[in-house]
Amino acid sequence: MPTDSDPPRYESPNHSTAEPTEAELTSDELTADEATAGDLGAEQVVERLGPEPIESELESIKAQADEYLDGWQRARAEFANYKKRIEREQAEARDRIAGDTLMRYLGVLDDLERALKDRPSDGEAASWAEGIELIYRKLSALFIAEGVEEIFAEGTAFDPALHEALSHEESDGHSEGQVIEVVQRGYRMGDRVLRPALVRVAK
């Protein structure tokens, strides 16, 4: 145990166990991590580190934020395009199925039209004809509701995309390539031809 007469012991600074105080740290010894982890205020951090490290960190964060924003905008645009494509494909599939189904009933419509051409006007047969006409009108209304339109051909120029020529005949009242008569009506649904009109064409 040392006494008052013992000489003071010398301790080397290299072997000191005391932690340096905040005041003893210099700007060279203070790192960005130490500054953010400690209790120093923003002004003290800028004063110790200088503005350059802070500005560099802000630029890095801003660049990363811009990258995230750009990725989010790309993903949003891709999803919007995907949604539009799916909706378009679903609409096209629906129209295709509806068109295929309606094509099967075009023959029924033809039969009803033929039955009404020479309809009787007297007696019980007249009542029967009225019932046939009612069915024809309901079926025609269903076609119209589904967007089916008749292809008008008589008197127009022959169009192989819309018409099918049954015969080519001489006709004084028609120019060459003009439709003389429609033998069987044609129908279309939008841009799709369900059945071309069967026609006689002048030559």
- For residue range 80-102, what is the model confidence (pLDDT) as tens digits? 999 999 999 998 898 889 899 99
Interstrand relation of 179-184 and 197-202 (parallel, antiparallel or unpaired): antiparallel
Tell me: the pLDDT tens digits for 177-188? 999 999 999 999
**Is the pLDDT higher at 62 or at 165?**
165
- Topology of the domain covering 150-203: Nucleotide Exchange Factor Grpe; Chain A, domain 2 (2.30.22)
> Which pLDDT score, from 0 to 100, does residue 198 have?
95
Best CA proximity match to 148, nearest among 186, 93, 182, 107:
186
Helix ranges (H only) for the chain are 32-37, 42-49, 51-103, 106-117, 123-145
Radius of gyration of the chain (CA): 46
Please give the backbone phi and psi of residue 151, each rounded to the nearest 5 degrees, phi first: -90, 110
How far apart CA 6 and CA 51 sit, in angstroms, is: 53
Best CA proximity match to 45, nearest among 80, 150, 36, 160:
36
In this prediction, residue 54 has a pLDDT band, given cuts at 50, 70 and 90, of confident
> Which pLDDT score, from 0 to 100, does residue 125 have?
82
- Locate the domains of the chain by residue range: 25-104, 105-146, 150-203
Q: Order of strands, edge to edge, in the sheet holding 179-184? A: 163-169, 197-202, 179-184
Query: Collapsing DSSP states into helix, strand and coil, what is residue 151?
Result: strand
Query: What is the identity of the amino acid at 83?
Result: K
Q: Residue 150 in contact with residue 185, Cβ under 8 Å?
A: yes
How far apart CA 197 and CA 203 sit, in angstroms, is: 18
Tell me: the pLDDT tens digits for 104-124? 999 999 999 988 888 887 878
C-alpha distances (whole Å) from 16 to each of 9, 12, 26, 29, 132 are: 13, 7, 19, 18, 114
What is the pLDDT of the chain when averaged over all its residues? 80
Task: Please determine, for residue 7, whether its predicted confidence score (pLDDT) is greater than 80.
Answer: no
Task: Please determine, for residue 144, whether its predicted confidence score (pLDDT) is greater than 90.
Answer: yes
> Which pLDDT score, from 0 to 100, does residue 163 have?
96
C-alpha distances (whole Å) from 169 to each of 29, 178, 182, 203 are: 105, 10, 13, 6
How far apart CA 114 and CA 112 sit, in angstroms, is: 5
Supply the pTM of this predicted model: 0.58
